């Protein structure tokens, strides 16, 4: 299934944009925690870690970088190029669709779960609501018929 043989509908481009934005946001949030685990680059107070199992921002930064940074970017690339990679197909629960479709839904769900878990420890703020809604938009966009048809196997 080569992307060059399929016309990419506007809703697919929208999904790619939503995932790339989430991925960049995840990297911008996660990498500074890996560079400065004390939270100083992002001016994140240590008090945010007070009721968490973490002693610094290293683990949250690593999780943020991987699951809200690299993962959505990989899903976006998958939707963009529809590469015939075998390793993601091994865990694709929706065999009638390219692995990137399931990966896109998972990226949105991961963003929403991240926020739900995070607000257990950190007071709810605008960015929490924004990222939760952004994750929901990814899931809803992936569910649109144009995206499903584009990602459906021939």
- Per residue of the chain (154 residues), what is the pLDDT tens digit? 444 467 899 999 999 999 999 999 999 999 999 999 999 999 999 888 988 999 999 999 999 999 999 999 999 999 999 999 999 999 999 999 999 999 999 999 999 999 999 999 888 999 999 999 999 999 999 999 999 999 999 7
pLDDT of residue 154: 78
Helix 126-143 and helix 99-118, axial crossing angle in degrees, nearest 10: 160
pLDDT of residue 1: 47
Distance separating alpha carbons of residues 92 and 103, to the nearest angstrom? 8
pLDDT of residue 4: 47
Are 33 and 39 in contact by the 8 Å Cβ rule? The answer is yes
Long-range contacts formed by 53-57: CB under 8 A, 24+ apart: 57/33
Helix 126-143 and helix 10-35, axial crossing angle in degrees, nearest 10: 140
Cα–Cα distance list, 139 to 4, 19, 35, 69, 135 (Å)? 25, 10, 31, 16, 6
pLDDT of residue 6: 74
pLDDT of residue 136: 98
pLDDT of residue 51: 87
pLDDT of residue 5: 63
pLDDT of residue 123: 87
pTM value > 0.85: yes
Distance separating alpha carbons of residues 77 and 64, to the nearest angstrom? 19
């Amino acid at each position: 299934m080569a992307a060059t043989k399929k016309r990419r509908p506007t809703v697919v481009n929208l999904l790619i944009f939503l995932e790339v934005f989430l991925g960049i946001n995840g990297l911008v949030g996660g990498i500074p925690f890996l560079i400065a685990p004390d939270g100083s680059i992002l001016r994140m107070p240590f008090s945010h870690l007070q009721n968490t199992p973490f002693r610094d921002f290293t683990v949250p930064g690593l999780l943020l970088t991987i699951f809200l940074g690299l993962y959505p970017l990989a899903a976006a690339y998958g939707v963009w190029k529809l590469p015939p990679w075998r390793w993601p197909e091994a865990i694709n629960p929706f065999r009638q669709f390219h692995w990137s479709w399931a990966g896109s839904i998972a990226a949105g769900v991961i963003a929403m779960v991240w926020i739900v878990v995070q607000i257990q420890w950190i007071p709810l703020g605008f960015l929490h609501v924004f990222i939760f809604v952004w994750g929901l938009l990814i899931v809803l966009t992936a569910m649109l018929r144009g995206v499903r048809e584009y990602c459906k196997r021939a």
